[in-house]
Amino acid sequence: MTMKLYCFGESGNAYKAALPLSLSGLDWEAVKVDFFGGETRTAQYRETINEMGEAPVLIDGDTRISQSGAIQMYITEKSGKFSGRDAVEAREIMRWVLWDNHKLSGVNGMTRFLMNFLPEDKRPAEVIAFNQGRLQAAYKTLDAQLKGRDWIVGDGPTNADFSCCGYLFYPEPFGFDRADWPEIDRWLSNIQALDGWKHPYDLMPGSPADRA
Amino acid sequence: MTMKLYCFGESGNAYKAALPLSLSGLDWEAVKVDFFGGETRTAQYRETINEMGEAPVLIDGDTRISQSGAIQMYITEKSGKFSGRDAVEAREIMRWVLWDNHKLSGVNGMTRFLMNFLPEDKRPAEVIAFNQGRLQAAYKTLDAQLKGRDWIVGDGPTNADFSCCGYLFYPEPFGFDRADWPEIDRWLSNIQALDGWKHPYDLMPGSPADRA
């Protein structure tokens, strides 16, 4: 049975699941979640899709999983890919996935939303500035980790890479410029060079162009 | 060899590791990190303890792990405890640990810091108000999950519980009152009733009283 990923193109959290699905060779299809129409905030969505009221959600027969990091682990279970070559690497990958959820995607996803998808008169300037300060520290940590390395952990692409890159390919301004971070820039090019790589707006349904 | 947990009492993220360590019966000791003296921000700490510049960090012989969720998984590996009874529960636990990192501890830890540990004239009011709004949504999700349940996943305490409770026992004000959330309140009492449970300020070295 084809797995279904509930997702939408603007969501870097959904991209963190869609990208390894796409690269894994597993059989899947995208189901568009109408986030901007309020679908994830409905009682029906919480009751039937995800009690956390979020995307992405992966449905595989009777199995239903939310949280991109948990979906990544499931893709690894099914494909045998992207979790490093031993328990030590697997633990390192988990550290970076958790760090990303807390310090990187957890903050730059929100900041991009506030700066681009809220009406201009509703954008909280102090919150945006505060988050951008935190993000400088996060980008600095990631850039330092990538020095002399092609991938965050080990010798090939893993869930750590797919997690941390979640929001970094998007064109909307949110205080991140690849040119400022040479190691991150080189690593993002490595990801883009993977066979089958697609940009989030090409991999999942929905983009700002649809609402323009 | 006794495991060492680099931690400090004020850190709910450290508590998320210290609590299952304590309840596991494994042999460990706390090493105080002088966070308020700037230790985690030194180059030496990044180079020798944690390149992410954070606590907690667990040292077990040659093994060094940061990120509370990764430390929890290691405690589970060593003790066989707190990860549910099958792969389905383990996956559910991982979902809630990730959700906590992103939506709960990732936000209430920061909010408590801003409201209590920054000088009064440096506290960013708009950021605090924004975070408290996000936290209401997170508490609502957690409270709903706990309805009719004693634990977040399955029939006993797991890493999901130890993750989500990270900041909820602290006395400093940060916009959370147990009385407002009856299911969360009951669940926190279940955690407190576990044999060997300790409050963060009793389990780890360092508390605001030391700096008063």
DSSP string, B108-161: HHHHHHHHHTS-GGG--HHHHHHHHHHHHHHHHHHHHHHTT-SSSSTTS--HHH
Six-digit token string for B167: 């900041």
Residue A1 pLDDT greater than 90, yes or no: no
d(CA A72, CA B92): 13
| CA B172 – CA A191 distance, rounded (Å) | 44
Give A203's pLDDT tier (boundaries 50, 70, 90).
Answer: very high
Cβ contact, residue pair A94, B126, below 8 Å: no
Does CATH place domain B87-192 in 1.20.1050.10? yes
How many A-B residue pairs are in contact by the CB < 8 A criterion? 87
Q: How many CA atoms lie within 13 A of B95 on its CB side?
A: 26
Region A60-70: what's the mean pLDDT? 97
pTM, two decimal places:
0.97
Q: What is the C-alpha separation between B85 and B89, in angstroms, rounded?
A: 6
Describe the strand order of the beta sheet including A63-66 as a list of residue ranges: A28-32, A3-7, A57-60, A63-66
The pLDDT of residue B145: 98
- Select the residue of A106, A125, A130 nearest B106 (Cβ to Cβ): A106
Q: Which of A179, A185, A148, A182 is nearest to A165 (CA)?
A: A185
Residues belonging to chain A with any Cβ–Cβ distance to chain B shorter than 8 Å: 46, 51-53, 63, 65-70, 73-74, 88, 91, 94-95, 97-99, 101-103, 105-106, 124-127, 130, 137, 141, 144-145
Residue reference for tokens 């070295």: B205
Mean pLDDT of chain B: 97
Q: pLDDT digits over B182-212, tens only? A: 999 999 999 999 999 999 999 999 999 888 7
Residue A211's pLDDT is 81
pLDDT at A53: 94
Q: Which residues of B touch A (CB under 8 A)?
A: 46, 51-53, 63, 65-70, 73-74, 88, 91, 94-95, 97-99, 101-103, 105-106, 124-127, 130, 137, 141, 144-145
B17 has pLDDT over 90: yes
Asked if residue A28 has pLDDT above 80, the reply is yes
What's the whole-number mean pLDDT along residues A98-103?
96
Contact A45, A39 (CB under 8 A): yes
Cis preceding linkage at A56, omega within 30: yes
ipTM comes to 0.96
- The per-residue pLDDT for B212 is 76
Determine the residue type at B173: P
CB B15 within 8 A of CB B40: no
The sheet that has B3-7: what strands, in order across it?
B28-32, B3-7, B57-60, B63-66
Write the DSSP string, A8-25. -TT-HHHHHHHHHHHHHT
CA angle B72, B178, A42 (to 5 degrees): 80
Contact residues, chain B, for A143 at CB < 8 Å: none
Place of tokens 């009951």: B186
Residues B112-139, mean pLDDT to the nearest whole number? 97
Written as six digits, the tokens of A137 are 């520290």
Q: Is 80 exceeded by the pLDDT of residue A200?
A: yes
Fold of B3-82+197-211: Glutaredoxin (3.40.30)
Across the interface, whether the CB atoms of A52 and B102 are under 8 A apart is answered no
Average pLDDT on A40-61 reads 95
Q: Is the pLDDT of residue A212 over 90?
A: no
Contact (Cβ atoms closer than 8 angstroms) between residue B63 and residue B3:
no
Domain ranges of chain A: 3-82+197-211, 87-192
Mean pLDDT of B111-121: 97
